[in-house]
Amino acid sequence: MTIAGLFLCLLVTGADLPSKPRLIGSVRVSTFTGLPDVLGVSGTLHLIPWVDLEGGASAFVFSQGWYVRGGPRWLFEDWRDEANHGATLRLSALFGFKSVALKDSQFQGFHFVGAVELTHWFANHAGLTFQLSGGGTVRTWPIFFPELRLAWGLAF
């Protein structure tokens, strides 16, 4: 019953309305805007309505990591006009797997983040996007590897 209620709420809020072009994907980069990473790249596919599938890699001081994650996405606000120019605000909760190679060791773990993404659309499938995400990786409980990142890029 609860799942049916959530699904109905998503439908009523107008997530990715068919009258507007649907988001296909986005690519982003982060440079010195993350904690603990100093450089990162990521890409997200939005081919399934209300679902994000994302992958990325990042470099830290003397280490690097990569991740794959996915989860629900909600269109929170849509300020686009009739020509589909304007901004959209999306929220997502992503879960997946992350691998981190430190100087002397490597670990993998359950990875989760919450993200807020603001995109300004210049055309139907061309926009500038900014994403703020925060969460982390659980190595072995209670060891937690935090993450906070501001990334920017292109949405299409």
Q: Is 46 exposed, middle or buried (0-12, 13-18, 19+ CB in 10 A)?
A: buried
Per-residue pLDDT of 7-30, as tens digits, reads: 434 444 444 444 677 779 999 999
Quick one: how many helices (H) and strands (E) in the chain? 1, 9
Q: How many residues does the chain have?
A: 156
DSSP character for 2?
H
* pLDDT recorded at residue 5: 42
CB atoms under 10 Å from CB of 29, counted, come to 14
137-149 pLDDT per residue, tens? 998 777 888 899 9
Q: How confident is the model at residue 15, as a pLDDT?
A: 45
Any idea where the domains of the chain sit in the sequence? 2-155
Structure confidence at residue 47 (pLDDT): 80
* pLDDT over 70 (residue 73): yes
Report the topology of domain 2-155: Porin (2.40.160)
Mean pLDDT, rounded, for 55-84: 93
